[in-house]
A and B are shown apart, each in its own frame.
Chain A
Amino acid sequence: MEDELLFKLRKEFDQVIGLPELENIKEHRIDIALDPKNLIDVANFLKHEMGFTIPNMCTGTDYKDKMEVSWHIGNPNYPVLMVLKVEIDRDNGVVESLTPIWEGMNWHERETYDLLGVKFENHPDLRRLLLPENWEGHPLREDYVYKRPVYRKPEDF
């Protein structure tokens, strides 16, 4: 099952994306290391040619020197999860949004923006999701310093 999928991807995107060797694939997760400029092509191919129609989740990890954004995509017929991984600049990194392709990535990308500060281009509605609109900073970044919120006293009302 994984070998077929890898073969298809190799045939289409050889030399462009980083694919794992078959013996390194554990627990049906295929990690694809991508250059941001190929992201949309690979995502469209996965959805329309390979049947990866279920957006599973989008998340980011702050590695102090770089920011890694990953999208997990599922398939209703296989247990395989495709993991699209993109490394971007940690501070001003911008990455293409996959919400136009999989509608279900909408809130996941909003959350990644909210907690990690990753900006998604062409996202239809990139607002904070979990934190209030006036929150400063992105709490899951490694350099985030927690400041106690200033509560209004009763006499301020």
Chain B
Amino acid sequence: MKPRVLAGLMLVVGGMACFGAGAVIMREAFDTSRLEASRTRKTNEQCQVRLKELVGETGEVKIMTAPSNSFEVTVRNVTDPRKALSDASHAKALCPKHSLVYLCLGDKCDPASKTVTLKMRMTGRQG
């Protein structure tokens, strides 16, 4: 077999292998994106469930439409401020796909209430 033909055949085989590898990488990329999206959705669902458990009956988790994928947590009649701050950190850990954008702890946080209130607002982050 002539050298050029042999080299040509090897290049053809190598080219086909490259096409195959590229196809595998592309499929993996799409699979990863799909899995990541699914994981994010389930994480957000679990986040809301766990937050409701965390705030208990005195608290309220309000899902907000704007900005999308954000919610506001309100806990009234806070008796242990230090625990409330720990709960806020805990809430952030429960919702890794959200960023804490606002938090207020005190009796001036809720104009409608004179008791100590914890308010926090979290929005979904990209990636």
Bind each other: no
